[in-house]
Amino acid sequence: MRAIRIHQYGGTETLQLNQIDTPKINTDDILIKVKSSSINPVDWKIREGYLKDFIPYQMPVTLGFDVSGVVSEVGSEVTDFKVGDEVFSRPDISRDGAYADYIAVKADEVAFKSPKLSFEQAAALPLAGITAWQCLVDVGQLQAGQRVLIHAGAGGVGHLAIQIAKAKGATVIATASTANQELLTQFGADQAVDYTKGSLLEQIEPVDLVIDTIGGEVQSNSWALLKAGGMLVSIVDQPSEELAKQHNAKAAFVFIESSSRILRELNKLVEKDQLLPFIEHRFSLEQIADAHLQSQTGRTRGKIIIKVS
Ligand SMILES: NC(=O)c1ccc[n+]([C@@H]2O[C@H](COP(=O)([O-])OP(=O)(O)OC[C@H]3O[C@@H](n4cnc5c(N)ncnc54)[C@H](OP(=O)(O)O)[C@@H]3O)[C@@H](O)[C@H]2O)c1
């Protein structure tokens, strides 16, 4: 089968199209014939070696941690899926990923694809959608009527977080640059904030929850935006417990864990027309380097899809 693999850390030139054996599945795995994958910033962060102390990869490795496709084989212990089922998943990032014709995934990381989603849309949802859900719902405990600030509301995680938070009945404030203000409103934000137009403190009334997708100064300037007892959840920089205490707030860091439970929750929102990923760019497997470069601009709106078959 075809697989885009890296044999060493480095630039986009390390992404090589190889012909390799179809993966062998374990008894609790399913083999998925890949229809689409998507790009997440973690893909190029792994490629460049930023995560090498955190996840010790055995080279060569196939990247791509979103997948939609069709079940082509099931392990002997798997009872929930059968050959021909249309599924999607955020597979374990310590195994080979989905820039390939086939991927082996643990069955408990897989869910049925909603018929309302195309294969491209289904591949846009898992990693960014699970992350948004874990921040807002599992950790942030967002309640109807609360106010939530979502930084980078035009990005992969942010645009899904806006929709999930609206579905939970929250008032949503989201940030983006001038060009993306209208898009934030289209995703459902109650207040679109232009971070290029001065201090956020002057533009935003206090919130119960901040979702930090940027880190650095964006995170440090966010404490002052929280109500007393509010919470800052970051997916990029571990927030300081000391600063949290100073602002009478709570702090948390989320690193995504694969979850078929959350995929099923996302499906429910899709079924109710409350959630739909936005796809701005589509690339083929052969164009993977361009897809990485697009993600590395930091300016992507919604998601970048890799069409595999
Ligand atoms: N911990 C985890 O489990 C986890 C999971 C998923 C992602 N992440 C990390 O979270 C970050 C975001 O991921 P993503 O997939 O959403 O990235 P992305 O899709 O590449 O985000 C791009 C968006 O960021 C916006 N942006 C850039 N600078 C901004 C700023 N200062 N304020 C507001 N918006 C800004 C851009 O909008 P404008 O062009 O309008 O600025 C663009 O739409 C990445 O660093 C990723 O690695 C972590």
The three-state secondary structure class of 225 is helix
How many whole angstroms separate alpha carbon 152 and alpha carbon 175? 5
At 166-224, the pLDDT tens digits run: 999 999 999 999 999 999 999 999 999 999 999 999 999 999 999 999 999 999 999 99
Q: Six-digit token pair at 297?
A: 């601009």
**pLDDT confidence of 297, banded at 50, 70, 90?**
very high
Q: Are residues 112 and 22 in the same domain?
A: yes
How many whole angstroms separate alpha carbon 62 and alpha carbon 100? 8
Question: Is any atom of ligand 1 closer than 6 Å to the C-beta of 41?
Answer: yes
Q: Which domain holds residue 218?
A: 128-253
Question: Is any atom of ligand 1 closer than 6 Å to the C-beta of 158?
Answer: yes
**pLDDT confidence of 56, banded at 50, 70, 90?**
confident
**pLDDT confidence of 125, banded at 50, 70, 90?**
very high
Question: Is any atom of ligand 1 closer than 6 Å to the C-beta of 300?
Answer: yes
Q: Are residues 34 and 140 in the same domain?
A: no
Ligand 1 pocket: which of 295, 299, 301, 303 to mutate (most atoms within 8 A of CB): 299
Q: CA geometry: angle at 294 spanning 105 and 46, to 5°?
A: 45
Report the CATH number that the domain containing residue 78 is assigned in CATH: 3.90.180.10
Report the CATH number that the domain containing residue 138 is assigned in CATH: 3.40.50.720
Q: Are residues 39 and 93 in the same domain?
A: yes
Q: Are residues 75 and 133 in the same domain?
A: no
Percent of the chain scored above 70 by pLDDT?
Answer: 100
Q: Is the pLDDT of residue 84 over 90?
A: yes
Q: CA geometry: angle at 129 spanning 226 and 79, to 5°?
A: 135
Q: Are residues 89 and 167 in the same domain?
A: no
Ligand 1 pocket: which of 40, 259, 292, 303 to mutate (most atoms within 8 A of CB): 40
**pLDDT confidence of 261, banded at 50, 70, 90?**
very high
149 falls within a domain: yes
Q: Six-digit token pair at 53?
A: 């102390």
Q: Is the pLDDT of residue 274 over 90?
A: yes
Total domains in the chain come to 2
Question: Is any atom of ligand 1 closer than 6 Å to the C-beta of 155?
Answer: yes
Are the beta carbons of 11 and 45 closer than 8 angstroms? no
Q: Are residues 132 and 120 in the same domain?
A: no
- Cis preceding linkage at 91, omega within 30: no
Indicate the average pLDDT of the chain. Answer: 98
Question: Is any atom of ligand 1 closer than 6 Å to the C-beta of 277?
Answer: no
Give the pairing type, strands 102-106 and 29-39: antiparallel
156 falls within a domain: yes
Are the beta carbons of 66 and 124 closer than 8 angstroms? yes
Q: Are residues 177 and 82 in the same domain?
A: no
Cα of 91 to ligand 1 centre, how many Å?
Answer: 21
